[in-house]
Amino acid sequence: MAVSSAFQVSYAQSSQPEAIDLGLSVKWADRNLGASSSEEYGEYYAWGETSPKSEYSRSTLKYSTDKWKVLFNKYVPSDKSRYWSGNGSPDNKTRLDMSDDAARANLGGKWRTPTKDEWEELIEKCTWSWTGSGYKVTGPNGRSIFLPAAGCRLASSSFAVGSGGDYWSSSLTGDPNYVLNMEFDSGVYHMFFCERLVGISVRPVMD
């Protein structure tokens, strides 16, 4: 599918986001990583990578060591050794190191990618309202953030832009090929899973 010029990724430098206190365990950024406002889509990142790119595939994925097979030399649980291609035993890492966290690498300070539990807290304790282009998420204290329907990137194409959203967590599912992510469309918002080679959004949080 060809990428419409309206959906091209903007690589302009983003301004520092504001940390919004929603009355939860962490503060949420008021915009996506790479965006200069809450409505902008921002950049797209493969999991474990800190820069956007023009193609999102296994052959361009950091820590993937085979173009065709699911083999990695980082972030492989100890009981999934068949996916391990590094030295020795699998590293048993199931959560992003800060050195591979796009939010920390690009924003510094205490910013980072949310965990699975932090996304679940946002889903369960907040009110979600579809606006036609994303969700307004209102916390227990009445403050809110906006999550735009930025879609995703696969190979060199964009998908579901304007109708759906995908946002990384920092947590693997247990299968080294899949990461827990928050996904939504106009009728549903929930935790799901996504191959880590796909380019999707990052919404930073701060303790």
Domains of the chain, by residue range, sit at 19-206
Q: What's the pLDDT at 13?
A: 45
What is the C-alpha separation between 27 and 122, in angstroms, rounded? 11
DSSP label of 199: B
What is the C-alpha separation between 108 and 147, in angstroms, rounded? 22
Q: What's the pLDDT at 108?
A: 96
User: Quick count: other Cβ atoms within 10 Å of Cβ 69?
Assistant: 12
Strand partners, 158: 153
Q: What's the pLDDT at 36?
A: 96
Three-state SS at 47? coil
pLDDT per residue of the chain (207 residues) written in tens, 0 to 9: 333 333 333 333 447 999 999 999 999 999 999 999 999 999 999 999 999 999 999 999 999 999 999 999 999 999 999 999 999 999 999 999 999 999 999 999 999 999 999 999 999 999 999 999 999 999 999 999 999 999 999 999 999 999 999 999 999 999 999 999 999 999 999 999 999 999 999 999 999
Nearest in space to 20 (alpha carbons), one of 123, 149, 122, 124: 122
What is the pTM assigned to this prediction? 0.92
What is the C-alpha separation between 161 and 107, in angstroms, rounded? 25
What is the C-alpha separation between 58 and 198, in angstroms, rounded? 9
What is the C-alpha separation between 199 and 190, in angstroms, rounded? 18
